[in-house]
Amino acid sequence: MDVEEFVRRRKREGVAENAIKKSLRDHIVRIKRAKPAYAEAFAAAVIEEVNNSEGLTGDIFSFTPAGVNMGEFGVGSRGTGDFYAHRQIARIIGKTRASVGVDEMDDAGAVPSGHGEYIVCTVDGMHSRLSDFPFLAGFHVTRATLRDAYVMGAKPVMLFSDIHVGDDGDVAKIFDYTAGITTVGEAMGVPLVSGSTLRIGGDMVLGSRLTGCVGTVGVASHLTARKETAAGDVLIMTEGAGGGTIATAAIYSGMHDVVEETINLHFLQACETLIASPVLREVHAMTDVTNGGLRGDIFEMAETAQCRIIVEEEKVAGLVNPKVNAMLEDLKIDFLGVSLDSLLIAAPPGSADAILRIIRGAGVRADVIGRVEKGTPASVLMKDGNESDFAPRFRESAYTPVKKLVDTEKRDFEEMKQGVDRASLAAIEKKKRVLARLSGTGKQD
């Protein structure tokens, strides 16, 4: 519970301060088990701080609202709303000297090292529903960030982390989370070298929620960004048993034994073997099947590379871990729209056998699942010999009971996009104004 937001909302609703203070005091007593006198003084201090920070104007204190909430727009839910929001972020960042920048919608970026190689950097947030399972959160987010470096063709050299725990969270969450990170890091020979540890919202958030991220820095000599996908390529995919998303689905659907299937390093080991082989030079592009599942990733690859990509559903189904696949079928979760954590490779047909030998030699199942053609950018699914719907959804496949409920509440997407466009444009204009001030060419407020 965010006590500052609680006060601001009540004030906007016209509730008297004494009533706000009493209500907040009662919440604090109940959640923190605090003494009433302390809780009342705390509530009064929050109200004072809110009053002191209201009504501020100017660029550095205010922003243009989109009138659209994160959840309404599906931000973080790996679907069309999320993709759209990320393209606005790319607009705000603008063109940079990066060899692979955010506008290309890869999960990692790259800049020249100045010595004929590229420095690759990426960061992943832990799965929000793994707050009560810190080791799993740390383990899976570390696998995710290492994957994102590997699929850019980079050899990871270091990890960094960030962890935030609510004021009432047990300190042990930090340690268990770190153990999850370093289990993967040590197994792959990549050290955790730095990080940050904070409380979520400092004193202003009640509860024990955990959140955080892990990032990777790597070095590459041959980049395998999505934009390098070319007409004539075949698509190779490895077996997927999922990561944080599948673990979350299993935990909150009561199928706890499936979580064990996600505790592996198959993807990372396959990439490590591939990067150490000369055959890497024959790979055009790589990505991991995470962003809204194949529905999202194939759509983004087609848009980025400006090509038509065809995928065979039967081939994909055969590469989903059997135990995971059984759970998805039982829960009626679309396996094409959920993160499988598989490796996806685009390469010339003549290189496919060599790539498959390398991957299979690392003990990982893999097969050709599709092809790339010239044409209007599109993602196409072949099912029983016919083209079938393969468009990304507004959100990734709903994989917990709560997500299935949330997915039923939707606002008009086009109307929301107008607000998002307005807000992103306002942020761009603010950036220009503040840059002008810093350079001495703009006027002071």
For the chain, which ranges sit under pLDDT 70? 409, 442-445
268 shares its domain with 124:
no
Closest CA to 336 of 282, 384, 269, 290: 290
Provide the domain limits for residue 425. Answer: 60-94+420-445
| 176 domain residue, yes or no | yes
229 shares its domain with 370:
yes
The pair of three-digit structure tokens given for residue 43, joined into one six-digit string: 């509530």
291 shares its domain with 369:
yes
259 shares its domain with 179:
no
Which pLDDT value is given to residue 443?
A: 65
| 111 domain residue, yes or no | yes
| 382 domain residue, yes or no | yes
Residues 6+ apart with CB under 8 A from 149: 108, 120, 122, 155, 156, 216, 217, 218
| 338 domain residue, yes or no | yes
234 shares its domain with 218:
no
384 shares its domain with 248:
yes
CA separation (Å) from 42 to 26, 98, 165, 202, 209?
11, 47, 20, 14, 21
311 shares its domain with 191:
no
pLDDT per position as a tens digit, 399-431: 888 888 887 767 899 999 999 999 999 999 999
Which pLDDT value is given to residue 342?
A: 95
261 shares its domain with 326:
yes
* The dihedral formed by the CA atoms of 149, 107, 183 and 342, expressed in degrees to the nearest 10: -90
Residue in this structure with the two tokens 């990080």, named with its chain if needed: 195
Which pLDDT value is given to residue 315?
A: 96
Let me know: does 431 contact 60? Beta carbons within 8 Å: no
Please state the domain count of the chain. 4
Predicted structure pTM score: 0.92
| 384 domain residue, yes or no | yes
287 shares its domain with 427:
no
Q: What is the CATH number of the domain that holds 371?
A: 3.90.650.10
Which pLDDT value is given to residue 324?
A: 97
295 shares its domain with 348:
yes
DSSP run (H or E) holding 153:
none
DSSP run (H or E) holding 361:
helix 352-361
| 271 domain residue, yes or no | yes
Q: How many CB atoms lie within 10 A of CB 17?
A: 16
| 408 domain residue, yes or no | no
| 409 domain residue, yes or no | no
Helices 244-252 and 134-150, axial angle in degrees (round to 10): 150
Q: Say how far apart CA 420 and CA 86 lie, in whole Å.
A: 11
210 shares its domain with 347:
no
21 shares its domain with 139:
no
pLDDT per position as a tens digit, 350-401: 999 999 999 999 999 999 999 999 999 999 999 998 998 788 888 888 888 8
